[in-house]
Structure 1
Amino acid sequence: MTIIEKILARHAGKKTVKPGDIVDVEIDVRIARDFGGPNVVKNLVENGLEIDDPSKTFFTFDTNPTGSDQKYAANQHFCRQFAREKGIKVFDINVGIGTHTAIEEGLAIPGATLVSTDSHANIVGAVCAFGQGMGDQDIAAVWATGKAWFKVPPSAKLILKGERPKGITAKDIVLNLLHHFGANGLLGLAVEVQGEEVERLTLDERITIASMATEMGAIILLFEPNDEVMAYCEKRSGKKIEKITADPDAQYDQVFELDLSTFVPMVSRPGHPDDSVDITKIGKVKIDSAFIGSCTNGRIEDLRIAASILKGRKVAPGVVLKIVPSTDEVWQQMMEESLLKIFKEAGALVGNAGCAGCAAGQIGQNGPGEITISTGNRNFAGKQGKGEVYLASPAVVTASAISGYITTPDQLPERPVTFDELQATVFSYQAKGKPQIQKREAPTVVEGKVWIIEKDNIDTDMIFHNRYLTITQIEEMGQYTFDNLQGWEDFAQKAEKGDIIFTGKNFGAGSSRQQAVDCFKALGVQAILAESFGAIYERNAINAAMPVLTYDPQIIKQLDLKQRDKVRINFETGEIENLSNGKKAHINPFSDVQMAIYKRGGLLNKA
């Protein structure tokens, strides 16, 4: 078996598993954050469910560790009260990013399983653990039962050959991978990363690369632990750990080989992490702000790189540099090594440990027209504010903050570029009306008019923006559906109850937010058909009894399907008919698990 197959088999109590098997997996570490956590509790209470094992159950308050937003503060307090009653440990606002904390605390170790309301829970692949981001219903079910159903993913092998060029950081490596694979080149795969240079990667570097598996559509990037990682995990957990490796005769769906020696410093242009290019090809882009942090690059090695470049220098006039360590432990190291003094003397703002701007709850947001260069893992439109966000390594971000424009450390100018003039952009937001939710039955054959949205990689920020994440009532969600998807901002006003959506590849990429599913339920959308779905999104939809199905792109031509045609779909057989012209075709029907969950109205509903 491959690594992922071994982990899932052991936790499912089976000798072997193979791709496509659906198994119930015991979860070792069960996390809800301050975003998603209140809905997890709400699901448990409303369904009369108790906690399976409090010792394996945790809250992590990392999206807004300052409690600066009133709704976040209320949600955190709500979760603390529940935790006190149930004996659940809270890694509170002073601790840092939950997935990093799980590694530091020895909870996520080689061969373990972890789930979280964080879509980057697969970051624990850095220590060869299996992690998955999930929606609030999924997490509630895991908290109540200790298990989650998983479809065993196909495995792939990614071999990085050759030597790493001087100056190429872990962030550069993963941006090169994004350039090669795009947003869905590894869709649905559990990828084992191998190579001589890979064996030498530090834990911090592995975390950086593993953290962007989601941005390539992968289920997880897994690193076989080297001696350094094994020693670290054994020390942190206090356990003797068995090293987990793939069998010599393991079967892989695909094998990729890339030459590491050809990798160059990269920058992702605004809008899409996979729109990454050689930094020399973007020119001297003037920046307003710079950010170092996030679960991708908030480690001590990242901060050491930044400090080595900043020492004795100043941030360019008019540019704001924001630095947020990933955990409190990294914060302590930063102070002990006098990095904080360097940052403050250079003019940087240093925040308390957490997710920062990526979660819209702390340091790192930008305003309309603002150009930011960031070490984060996402730069979707609107993800970190109304400005534009470039992604790069800590070295490039630091050099850019000093120079006033995007550049590398070896190209620092004698004097920074300054602003000739400043322009302020003011925007306003007007809330839309609230739709009413109508309860409906669970028919296996449905009819409805279609919306054809011919776009790939529609991410969850386009579907349901993170500025609405504090909304917990489904009936309030529909009005915000697609209001961050260019060309479809008025979808909620045009949609009719019973509509059916056709769209492209990797629908629902990005965050684990359940609202990106529930907003369609609020509007009365009957089904979503896509060429493929983001892995977390598909789970969330199935568990919420929201019909999602996959189809071959030729189907639209076969049906001669046009905007607002009426179709009939059979979820059991996959038969689809365009009622406007009588043409028929077949799509992929529901699986047995999906049908069972759908018929009972959702994962948490009693059979």
Structure 2
Amino acid sequence: MTLIEKILANHSKESVVKPGDIVDIEIDIRAARDFGGANVVKNIQEHNLKIADPKKTYFTFDCNPTGSDQKYAVNQQICRLFARDNGVKVFDINIGIGTHVLLEQGLAYSGITAVTTDSHANILGAVGAFGQGMGDKDIAAAIHNGKIWFKVPKTVKINLNGKRPEGIYAKDIVLGLLNQFGANSLLGYSVEIYGEEVDHLTLDERITISSMATEMGCIIILFTPNEAIMEYSEYRSGKKLDVVRADFDAEYDQVFEIDFEKFVPRVSLPGEPHNTVPVRKAKGVKIDSAFIGSCTNGRMEDFRIAAGILKGKKVAPGVVFKIVPATDEIWNECLKEGIINIFKEAGAMVSNAGCAGCAAGQVGQNGVGEVTISTGNRNFPGKQGKGKVYLASPATVAASAIAGCIVPHDEIPELPVTFGTGKAKQKEVGAMVHSGAELRDKPKRIEGRVWYIPIDNIDTDMIFHNRYLSITEMKEMGQYTFDNLEGYEEFARKAMPGDIVITHKNFGSGSSRQQAVDCFKALGIQAIVAESYGAIYERNAINAAFPIVTCNVISKLNLTDGDTVRLNLETGEITNISKNISVQGERFSEVQLEIYQNGGLF
């Protein structure tokens, strides 16, 4: 078996599992964050659920750790009160990003399973653990049952061959992989990475790479722990641990041989993490702000790299430089080593530990027209604010902050680029709660008017923006559907109950938010048909009894807006009635049909 198959088998009743199997797996860590936690609590309370094991249940407050947003503060307090009543551990606003805290606390290590409301829970693949972001229904069910259903994914193996080039950081590695594989060619796969140089990757470097599995569409990127990482895990957990490895004769769906020596420092261009270019191609782009932090690059090694570049230098005039450590332990180590002082003397702002910009957190958002270079994992439109965001390594970000424009980390100019007056041209490079039971014996054939949206990679921020995440009543969600998808801002006003949305690849990528499903239900949308879905989105839709159908030959339907389409959920047949064209999609699985007829996971 592959590594993920080994882990899932070890946590199920099966001695062997294979891709496509749907199994109940025991979950070692069941956690909820501040933005999803209140909805998890409401699900538990509304359905009178018990907690299977409070000692394996956690809340992590990392999205808005300052409580600066009143709605976040309310949600955090809902979780605190529930935790006090039920003996549940809270990693509160002074601790840091939940997934990192699970590693620091020795809770996550080789071979364990964890689910949280964080779509980057797959960061735990850095230590060879199974981490999965899920919606609040899933988390509530996992807290209640101690286990959850999961479909065993196919696995691909990536071999990085050759020597690691000098000056290539972990972020450059994962941006290089994104450049090669895009946002959806590995959609739904588990990925294992191997190679002589890979064996020497540190924990912090593996975290950076595993964290961006979500942006590649993967279920998870898994590394087999080396000796140093096992020593770290044993020290943190206080117990002797065994390494879980893939079998030597494991069967992989595909194996990719990649020349490591061809990797170069890269940046992601605004709007798409996978649209990357060598840093030199973006050299000279004037920036307004810079950011180092997030679950991808808020580690100790990242700040040592940045401090080495910033020491004795100043941030360019007019540039705002924001720095946010991933955990309070890292913050304190930065203080102890004098790194905070280097940052402050350079002119940077250092905030308390947490997620920051990409979660609409304490710092890091940008404004309309603002250009930011960031170590975050996402730069979807609106994700880190209303401006443009380039993604890069901490070294490139620190160098660019000094230069006042994007530069390679080893090409900082003697004098910074400053802002001129007037309109000088800038260089550019190309939580919901359901009330009451729904009807059973739902129709297995659905007919409706089509909204045809021929776009790949529509992420959850485009569907339901993170500024609305504090909304917990489904009836309020519909009005915000697609208001961050260019060209479809009027969708919610024009859509009619009974409509069907048909789109292309990787629909619903990105965040784990349940609202991105429930907003369609609030509008009365009957179903969504897509070529493929983000893994978390697919689960959220199935668990909410919202019909989603997968079809990889949508183009053959010859669709235009307003066509009438019929879906057969049992057989997978899709018919464009207006043009008398039929194609075959995927039929509902037994699990999907059961949950659909049941009116939801509960």
Distance in 2, matches of 1:339 and 1:210, equals 26
Per the alignment, residue 55 of structure 1 pairs with 55
Per the alignment, residue 427 of structure 1 pairs with none
Distance in 2, matches of 1:303 and 1:179, equals 25
Mapped contact 1:437–1:522 kept (Cα < 8 A): no
Q: In the TM superposition, what whole-angstrom CA distance separates every residue of 1:291-326 from its partner, at most 9, and x where no partner exists?
A: 000000000000001101110011000001000000
Shift of 1:440: 6.1
Q: In the TM superposition, what whole-angstrom CA distance separates every residue of 1:113-163 from its partner, at most 9, and x where no partner exists?
A: 000000000000000000000001110000110111000000110100111
Q: Say if 2:583 is the partner of 1:585.
A: yes
Shift of 1:270: 0.4
5+ residue gaps, structure 2: 425-434
Q: Which amino acid aligns with 1:41?
A: V
Shift of 1:562: 2.5
Q: Which amino acid aligns with 1:238?
A: G
User: How many residue pairs end up in the alignment?
Assistant: 591
Distance in 1, matches of 2:274 and 2:413, equals 29
Q: Spell out the pairing of 1:251-290 with structure 2 (5 A cutoff).
A: 251-290=251-290
Q: Which amino acid aligns with 1:420?
A: G
Q: In the TM superposition, what whole-angstrom CA distance separates every residue of 1:393-450 from its partner, at most 9, and x where no partner exists?
A: 00000000000000022111111111012679xxxxxxxxxxx999766211111111
Per the alignment, residue 549 of structure 1 pairs with 549
Shift of 1:472: 0.5
Match 1:597 to one of 589, 595, 598: 595
Distance in 1, matches of 2:141 and 2:310, equals 47
Distance in 2, matches of 1:422 and 1:93, equals 42
Mapped contact 1:379–1:390 kept (Cα < 8 A): yes
5+ residue gaps, structure 1: 425-435
Q: Say if 2:330 is the partner of 1:330.
A: yes
Per the alignment, residue 226 of structure 1 pairs with 226
Shift of 1:39: 0.3
Mapped contact 1:204–1:301 kept (Cα < 8 A): yes
Distance in 2, matches of 1:270 and 1:502, equals 26
Per the alignment, residue 561 of structure 1 pairs with 559
Mapped contact 2:283–2:408 kept (Cα < 8 A): no
In terms of mean alpha carbon deviation, does 560-569 or 489-498 score higher? 560-569
Distance in 2, matches of 1:29 and 1:437, equals 29
Shift of 1:13: 2.4
Q: Secondary structure at the match of 2:197?
A: helix
Change (3 A) 1:10 1:251: same
Q: Secondary structure at the match of 1:549?
A: strand
Per the alignment, residue 506 of structure 2 pairs with 506
Q: Which amino acid aligns with 1:208?
A: T
Calculate the aligned-residue CA RMSD, in Å. Answer: 1.4
Q: Secondary structure at the match of 2:400?
A: helix
Q: Secondary structure at the match of 1:232?
A: helix
Q: Spell out the pairing of 1:351-366 with structure 2 (5 A cutoff).
A: 351-366=351-366
Distance in 1, matches of 2:552 and 2:515, equals 27
Per the alignment, residue 83 of structure 1 pairs with 83
Mapped contact 2:282–2:407 kept (Cα < 8 A): no
Distance in 1, matches of 2:408 and 2:585, equals 49
Q: TM-score, normalised by structure 1?
A: 0.96
Per the alignment, residue 176 of structure 2 pairs with 176
Per the alignment, residue 386 of structure 1 pairs with 386
Identity rate, percent: 67
Distance in 2, matches of 1:451 and 1:375, equals 36
Shift of 1:535: 0.4
Shift of 1:278: 0.6
Mapped contact 2:2–2:155 kept (Cα < 8 A): yes
Q: Spell out the pairing of 1:405-484 with structure 2 (5 A cutoff).
A: 405-421=405-421, 442-484=442-484
Per the alignment, residue 134 of structure 2 pairs with 134
Distance in 1, matches of 2:283 and 2:94, equals 40
Distance in 2, matches of 1:304 and 1:281, equals 26
Distance in 1, matches of 2:99 and 2:265, equals 27
In terms of mean alpha carbon deviation, does 579-588 or 261-270 score higher? 579-588
Shift of 1:530: 0.4
Distance in 2, matches of 1:224 and 1:581, equals 52
Per the alignment, residue 574 of structure 1 pairs with 572
Q: Say if 2:225 is the partner of 1:210.
A: no
Mapped contact 2:25–2:148 kept (Cα < 8 A): yes
Distance in 2, matches of 1:182 and 1:155, equals 17
Mapped contact 2:373–2:390 kept (Cα < 8 A): yes
Mapped contact 1:176–1:263 kept (Cα < 8 A): yes
Q: Which amino acid aligns with 2:186?
A: L
Per the alignment, residue 486 of structure 1 pairs with 486
Distance in 2, matches of 1:247 and 1:187, equals 23
Q: Secondary structure at the match of 2:446?
A: strand
Q: Which amino acid aligns with 2:161?
A: K
Distance in 2, matches of 1:280 and 1:416, equals 17
Q: In the TM superposition, what whole-angstrom CA distance separates every residue of 1:13-58 from its partner, at most 9, and x where no partner exists?
A: 2110000000000000011000100000000111111111000000
Mapped contact 1:110–1:128 kept (Cα < 8 A): yes
Change (3 A) 1:480 1:423: farther
Shift of 1:281: 1.2
Distance in 1, matches of 2:423 and 2:368, equals 10
Shift of 1:455: 0.4
Change (3 A) 1:54 1:422: farther
Distance in 2, matches of 1:40 and 1:423, equals 48
Mapped contact 1:438–1:524 kept (Cα < 8 A): no
Mapped contact 1:437–1:475 kept (Cα < 8 A): no
Mapped contact 1:437–1:523 kept (Cα < 8 A): no
Q: Say if 2:350 is the partner of 1:350.
A: yes
In terms of mean alpha carbon deviation, does 567-576 or 438-447 score higher? 438-447
Shift of 1:248: 1.2
Mapped contact 2:44–2:50 kept (Cα < 8 A): yes
Q: Spell out the pairing of 1:140-159 with structure 2 (5 A cutoff).
A: 140-159=140-159
Mapped contact 2:178–2:273 kept (Cα < 8 A): yes
Q: Which amino acid aligns with 2:156?
A: A
Mapped contact 1:270–1:379 kept (Cα < 8 A): yes
Distance in 2, matches of 1:390 and 1:20, equals 37
Per the alignment, residue 427 of structure 2 pairs with none
Q: TM-score, normalised by structure 2?
A: 0.97
Q: Spell out the pairing of 1:363-378 with structure 2 (5 A cutoff).
A: 363-378=363-378
Distance in 1, matches of 2:337 and 2:581, equals 70
In terms of mean alpha carbon deviation, does 580-589 or 394-403 score higher? 580-589
Per the alignment, residue 430 of structure 1 pairs with none
Mapped contact 2:450–2:562 kept (Cα < 8 A): yes
Q: Which amino acid aligns with 2:68?
A: S
